[in-house]
Amino acid sequence: MQKDSRIFVAGHRGLVGSSIVQVLQQDGFGNIITKSHAELDLSDFNAVEMFFNEVRPEYVFLAAAKVGGIAANNEFRADFIYQNLAIQNNVIFHAYKSGVKKLLFLGSSCIYPRDCQQPIKEEYLLTSELEYTNEPYAIAKIAGLKMCESFALQYGCNFLSVMPTNLYGDNDNFNLHTSHVLPALLRKIHLAKLLSQGDRESVEKDTGLSGESLQAFLQRFGISAQSVQIWGSGRPRREFLHALDMARACVYVMENIDFDTLTRDSVTNNMQVRNTHINIGFGSDISIKELGELIQEIVGFSGYLVFDTSKPDGTFAKLMDSSKLNALGWKPSISLRDGISSVYKHYKAMA
């Protein structure tokens, strides 16, 4: 990419998209194209076609997606598969039609099988069944990956996919109805700390609720002055990567790594594709229980963590093998403790 290249960041208001814009600006790229949902509905075929024909972006970061935690994925299954397929199909197809030089599609670690061997290598894709709770979302992301691969193979497009581990950051979703585990725990433990300090006014300001409505909210999400309730047993392990690290990895891949052509495997003699999708992870994981305790320490809440084993755990472990990307020259730089501390500072400033 040149500093004046026309770069379209789809999903620029989301956690990763906003971080990609931030990193591109820091790196001196001055022609970054963004569109809000009101300005461009990426699920609208005709609108996307018109956008690509008129704007003619040269590079595309496809970070737009409908995302959510385990509860949202399980409850809104139709929405997750339909909306994500629509967005991907339109952007990837019209990127091809308009001659985009390079496209980077952002997937998810949930594309890999439920009981996958750890750490998860790229070649484990489609080797076993998916985790049921987020299967529609995972299938949509697999379709996006395969669409990029197929357009690259058939038409010679330089379309790649990256598969991030669990992400968190300043621009995260803290809505307890739809958020992922880390921002949800951070907000719940923060509210519990305020309650333990008798600061109900700040709790009301944070939630926008009072009286019986506030009490119902706190009860629903297991938040009290003494404890915080967490879904599942606390034993599943997760890997977490700060969104700024993810964004830096995406820009690095866009600038330095291309879709690799077919090569012949020396053992099987079969033709294989390299660099069709690349894992992006932190390199180590932590149990949900340990995560909760770390957030407790950072927030300063001395109450109890209560685990609701009637709720699903999801996949037991999802540690990504990022050795391919590490060998290609990129590694993360933000520790989990430093990252959570930064996010908590940002959250308090915004609350």
Handedness of CA 40, 45, 47, 49 (dihedral sign): positive
Cα dihedral 41, 111, 232, 81 in deg (nearest 10): 30
Instruction: Write out the DSSP string of 147-184.
Output: HHHHHHHHH---EEEEEE-EEE-TT----TTT--HHHH
Task: Indicate left, alpha or beta for 176 from its phi (over 0: left) and psi (-120 to 50: alpha).
Answer: alpha
The answer to whether 168 and 181 are in contact (CB under 8 A) is no
The answer to whether 6 and 33 are in contact (CB under 8 A) is yes
292 sits in which H/E element: helix 288-299
CB atoms within 10 A of CB 328: 14
The answer to whether 229 and 292 are in contact (CB under 8 A) is no
β-pairing, 286-287 vs 166-168, is unpaired
237 forms beta bridges with 287, 317
In a 3-state reduction of DSSP, which class is residue 10?
Answer: strand
Question: Secondary structure of 80-114 in the HEC alphabet?
Answer: HHHHHHHHHHHHHHHHHHCCCCEEEEECCHHHCCC
| Catalytic option among 96, 137, 168, 347 | 137
In the residue annotation, 344 being an active-site residue is answered as: no
Q: Which two tokens stand for residue 94?
A: 């019209």
Query: Which of 198, 201, 202 lies closest to 187, judged by CA?
Result: 202
Determine phi and psi for 191, rounding to 5 degrees: -65, -40
Contacts of 219 (CB under 8 A, 6+ apart): none
Residues annotated as catalytic (active site), given as ranges: 137
